A and B are shown apart, each in its own frame.
Chain A
Amino acid sequence: MRDAFSDAIVAAALADPKVLLLTGDHGYALFDPFRKARPDQYINCGIAEQNMVGVAAGLAKAGFKPIVYGLAAFVPVRVLEQIKLDVCYENLPVILIGDGAGFVYSHLGSSHQSTEDMACTRAIPALTVLSPADRFEMTATMQLALQLNAPVYLRMGKSDRGDVHTGPVTLQPGDMLRVKHGTRHGPRHLALLATGSMVKTALELSAQGLDADVWSVPSIKPLSREQLTTIAQNVDAVVTLEEHSVMGGLGAAVAEALAGIRPLPILRIGVEDRFSAFCGTWDYLLQEHGLDLAAVQQRVVRFVEGLPG
């Protein structure tokens, strides 16, 4: 997935000299191919994210297409006001990359973990919010972001969970991508809507006998109202999964939309309203937050049992 990101930015820079990569002194080896291919289009802005986003806005006003890279804890969260006023209010073509979203920096503590970035960015007008799940979605979301010529926040989370698609995908704003068909053999048919790292978990869950369609949601904002309407007509309940707060992210977006389409029982699986308490591996922190496969499975089974049948 990170290779797909690197490939995407290198291709973009080679295709268009107006594409610039700005980093807040992060990225290290990730940008070696870019710096080799287009050193003049690479700008290390130092450890100064507020200025970096403002500079990106100025560059975009003058016709450049900046890709602004930071850790999700800093871009977008630290610089939310610059994103709102300098970039989005003027609808400038700036792509903001938030790397390491969720619990990727599991050993570094709350300063580097990011489980509120989608909630923050979703509420900003004019800003598209993307959250790819694998290398194919990374390629498609970057293509979409570059085509939009408008503000985009792209959330890059746990990147080594493997593919959820069997090959390249195409993406329009709002698209949800079905990665598995359920069998619909019983009265409690589910749709699992997941994003980022949790799409893999949703697939693992469905492989354990759960009757569910599994959808990957790489476009958090917008969300396709048409697709949600179709999904709602064909299922009895919805489960959302995300490595993000249950407030303001995918689960919230789905619940908000479905409330106006066809109210259904919704189980929102994500990070509850709390910080991480302990240090440990990514797998450990997922357990701490009840997002490991066993815990998720337990919650979904209980949820299904409680559905009217």
Chain B
Amino acid sequence: MEPLNDDGSMMNTSPSFNVNSIRRTVLDMAYAGSAVHVGCAFSIVELLAVLYRKHLRLDANNPNAPDRDYMVLSKGHGVMAQYACLQEVGYLDANDIARYFKDGTRLKGLADAHIPGVEVTAGSLGHGLSVGTGLALAAKLNHTDQKCFALVGDGEINEGAIWEAALFAAHFKLDNLIVIVDVNGFQAMGTTDEVMALGNIEAKFAAFGFDAVSIDGHDEAAVDAAYSHATRTPNGRPKAIVATTVKGKGVSFMEHDNRWHYTRLTAETHAAAIAELATDTPSTTPSTTP
């Protein structure tokens, strides 16, 4: 097991989870595999980077360590961003990334629980939060301090099962469940306002009995603070972090353009996007490296 950090989390010491590096990995995967969902992955990069960098207790040598924290990517179509993080954790290797979508390879285009570090098969929306709720309940029944982070999309919360899980989590006082809502404002066929207006998401979760907070999902310091507060408030209420994000964040010609839900990269667009992300950004959250 890796050494414990001062906040009790356990992380291997080398990864930086730099957001530009993660986005470059996503671009390389998407280009290699002619894959879609680039914009969906880009909106959650900071949310995942800060989580993996500082807040998830993982065992770099054992993705199924019984005392791990759970990271459930309920919005399974953002999985390329998680793959990039899992490569840094050490669960995936460079070959997985380079051979994305090649015949006979293991990484699929949607979150799949057979992949080390991916907890839930979540291509079908509305599943992950319920499974994550079960994981959080298991930790409570076992009297452990494990946490479960479940990242859902704003479009995904159209699904009724999300609200079934929300009722359940509040009723069973799962304060170790942290729901992160990626509010990039788009779903497959348009903006969330056009397709199925969501109203005030923070107020909705609060009404269901959550401690809910809204943040800028690309401000790493704000994300870090929200995670820290959520994981250190054992008050019997589940947590909801409503993160406003930008679909396609990080590449000028992708931002706010829903075509990058579906568009495949060409050599030109890949090169142009990489050029915009060429240098690693200085991290705004302190590294946990001793």
Contacts and interface: CB of A to CB of B under 8 A. Distances in A.
Interface of A: 43, 45-46, 48, 50-51, 53-64, 81-82, 85-86, 89-90
A51 B161 CA distance: 6
Nearest to B64: A61
Please indicate which of the listed interface residues B66, B114, B131 has the most CB atoms of chain A within 10 Å of its own CB.
Answer: B131
Nearest to A41: B141
A85 B112 CA distance: 10
17 contacts: A43-B137, A48-B161, A48-B164, A48-B167, A48-B168, A54-B129, A54-B130, A54-B131, A55-B137, A57-B130, A58-B130, A59-B141, A62-B134, A62-B142, A82-B127, A86-B127, A89-B113
Contact of A51 (B113, B121, B142, B165): B165
Contact of A64 (B131, B133, B141, B167): B141
Contacts of A62: 134-135, 138-139, 142
Closest 8 pairs between A and B when the two form their complex, measured CB to CB: A58-B134, A54-B130, A62-B138, A51-B164, A55-B134, A48-B164, A58-B135, A50-B161
Given A53-B130, A58-B132, A59-B137, 13 more contacts: A46-B168, A51-B164, A54-B129, A55-B130, A55-B131, A55-B137, A57-B130, A58-B133, A59-B134, A59-B141, A62-B134, A62-B135, A90-B114
Contact of A86 (B131, B137, B139, B164): B131
- Chain B CB within 10 Å, residue with most, of A54, A57, A89: A54
Contacts of B167: 46, 48, 51
B171 A46 contact: yes
B28 to A, nearest CB: 28
B160 interface: yes
B127 A85 contact: yes
Nearest to B113: A90
B153 to A, nearest CB: 17
